[in-house]
C-alpha cells in the first residue's frame, strides 16, 4: 500500500466517523450521550463484525460445497451476510433497552446508524487489507465505493431496524416486541441484500453487458435511500417538536415554567440564543429536563399498566427539576424552597 492509498484509507475511516457525528448532531432536541453512541459504534465494529464472521463464514462455505464456488459466493453475499450481519448489529438494542436509553424512533435511528457505521468502518479495513497488494487504482476504487455506498448501506439498514424498535418501545401490548422488530429486520435485510445482489452481479459479470449498469443502479438506490432516511429523520424530529411544544404549553398553563419558554425550547435556533434564561439557570440542564418532561407526557399517553405508572413518576421528577432550576439561588439560600408541584 503506497502513501496515496494509505491516506485514502485514513480519509475513508474519518469520513465514516464524520457520518456518525453528523447523524448524532441532527438529534437536536434531546441528544443521546455521545459516549453511548460511541459504544454503539464500537459494538458494530467489534461485536457485530466478529459475530457476523463467526456465523456467516460456515454458512457460506456450506453453500459453496452444495452449489459450487460461484453459488456459495452469491448466496453468502445476498442471503447469508444480510441476515446474519443485521441480526448481529441489532444485538446492541437489547442492551440499550435494558438501560432505558431510547425514548423514541429518532433515538433508535441514531443508535442504529452508529452501530452500522462502526460495522462498516471495520469491515472496510478488512477489504482494504485484502486489496493492499493489488493495483493502487483498484484499491482507490474499492475505497470510494465502500466509503460512499457500502458504508451507507450498513448505516441505513441498522437505522431502519432501530427506528422500528424505537417506535415500539412505548406502544401497548407484548406483540409490539415481535411485530415492529420483525418489520425493521426485514427492511434492513432487504436493503442490505439489494445492494449486495447488484454489487455481486456486477463483480462476477452475472448480468453480462448489463453488469456495470446494475452496479450504477445500486449506487443510485443507495443515494435514494440516503435521501429517504434524511426525510424520515426530519419527519421524526418534526414529531418531537410538536410533542415538546404541546406539552410544555400545558406545563406553562400549570405554572411549571414561563409560557415564553414553551415557545423557545421546541425551536433549536431560538433556544440557542442568549438572554432568554436568567443567568443562574444552567441552560443545558434546564432544556434537557423540560424536554424529557414533555417526552414523558407523550409516553404516558400511549403506555399502559406499570409503564404508565413509571412515566407518571418521571413526570413529577422532571417537573421538580424544572422548578428547582428556575428558582433563584438567593431564594434557596433564604430558606424559601420551590413552589409546590401542581397536580395534573
How does pLDDT run across 15-33, given as a tens digit for each residue?
A: 999 999 999 998 888 888 9
Work out the pLDDT band at 205, boundaries 50, 70, 90.
low
Rounded average pLDDT over 101-116: 90
Q: Which of 118-122, 137-141, 206-210 has the highest mean pLDDT?
A: 118-122
Instruction: Report the C-alpha gap between 82 and 194 in whole angstroms.
Output: 9
With contact defined as beta carbons under 8 Å apart, do 13 and 124 qualify? yes
Give the pTM. Answer: 0.85
Burial of 330 (0-12, 13-18, 19+ CB in 10 A): exposed
Question: Each residue of 218-264: pLDDT tens digit?
Answer: 889 999 999 999 998 889 889 899 999 999 999 999 999 999 999 99
pLDDT value of position 331: 52
Answer yes or no: is pLDDT of 9 > 80: yes
Mean pLDDT of 34-38: 93
Find the angle CA(294)-CA(300)-CA(305) to the nearest 5 degrees.
160
- Give domain limits for the chain: 3-225, 254-333
182: nearest Cα among 86, 75, 102: 86
Which pLDDT score, from 0 to 100, does residue 124 have?
A: 92
pLDDT value at residue 82: 95
Query: Is the pLDDT assigned to residue 43 strictly greater than 50?
Result: yes
The label of the residue with cell 434492513 reads 188
Distances (CA, A) of 146 to 143, 151, 165, 219, 335: 5, 6, 27, 11, 62
Give the residue among 27, 30, 40, 31 at the shortest CA–CA distance from 154: 40
DSSP, res 206: T
Is residue 149 within 8 Å of residue 198, measured between CB atoms?
Answer: no
Tell me the three state secondary structure of residue 36: helix
Predicted confidence at residue 329, as pLDDT, reads 46
Answer for the pair 323, 339: CB distance below 8 angstroms, yes or no. Answer: yes
Amino acid at each position: 500500500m503506497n502513501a496515496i492509498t494509505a491516506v485514502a484509507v485514513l480519509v475513508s475511516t474519518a469520513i465514516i466517523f464524520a457520518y456518525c457525528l453528523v447523524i448524532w448532531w441532527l438529534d437536536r432536541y434531546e441528544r443521546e450521550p455521545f459516549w453511548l453512541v460511541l459504544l454503539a459504534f464500537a459494538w458494530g465494529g467489534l461485536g457485530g463484525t466478529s459475530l457476523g464472521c463467526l456465523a456467516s463464514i460456515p454458512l457460506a462455505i456450506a453453500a459453496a460445497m452444495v452449489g459450487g464456488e460461484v453459488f456459495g459466493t452469491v448466496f453468502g453475499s445476498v442471503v447469508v451476510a444480510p441476515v446474519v450481519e443485521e441480526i448481529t448489529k441489532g444485538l446492541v438494542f437489547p442492551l440499550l433497552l435494558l438501560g432505558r436509553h431510547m425514548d423514541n424512533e429518532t433515538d433508535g435511528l441514531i443508535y442504529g446508524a452508529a452501530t452500522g457505521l462502526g460495522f462498516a468502518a471495520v469491515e472496510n479495513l478488512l477489504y482494504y487489507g485484502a486489496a493492499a497488494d493489488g493495483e493502487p487504482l483498484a484499491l482507490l476504487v474499492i475505497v470510494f465505493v465502500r466509503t460512499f455506498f457500502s458504508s451507507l448501506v450498513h448505516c441505513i439498514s441498522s437505522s431502519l431496524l432501530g427506528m422500528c424498535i424505537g417506535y415500539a418501545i412505548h406502544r401497548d401490548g407484548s406483540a409490539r416486541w415481535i411485530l415492529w422488530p420483525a418489520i425493521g429486520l426485514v427492511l434492513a435485510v432487504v436493503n442490505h441484500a439489494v445492494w449486495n445482489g447488484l454489487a455481486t452481479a456486477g463483480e462476477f459479470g452475472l448480468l453480462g453487458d448489463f453488469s456495470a449498469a446494475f452496479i450504477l443502479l445500486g449506487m443510485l438506490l443507495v443515494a435514494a435511500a440516503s435521501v429517504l432516511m434524511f426525510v424520515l429523520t426530519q419527519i421524526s424530529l418534526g414529531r418531537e417538536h410538536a410533542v415538546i411544544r404541546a406539552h410544555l404549553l400545558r406545563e406553562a398553563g400549570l405554572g411549571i415554567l414561563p409560557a415564553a419558554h414553551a415557545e423557545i425550547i421546541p425551536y433549536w435556533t431560538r433556544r440557542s440564543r442568549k438572554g432568554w434564561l436568567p443567568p443562574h439557570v444552567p441552560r443545558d440542564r434546564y432544556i434537557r429536563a423540560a424536554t424529557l418532561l414533555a417526552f414523558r407526557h407523550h409516553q404516558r399517553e400511549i403506555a399502559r399498566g406499570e409503564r404508565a405508572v413509571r412515566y407518571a413518576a418521571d413526570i413529577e421528577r422532571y417537573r421538580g427539576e424544572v422548578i428547582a432550576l428556575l428558582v433563584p439561588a438567593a431564594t434557596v439560600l433564604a430558606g424559601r424552597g420551590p413552589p409546590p408541584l401542581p397536580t395534573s
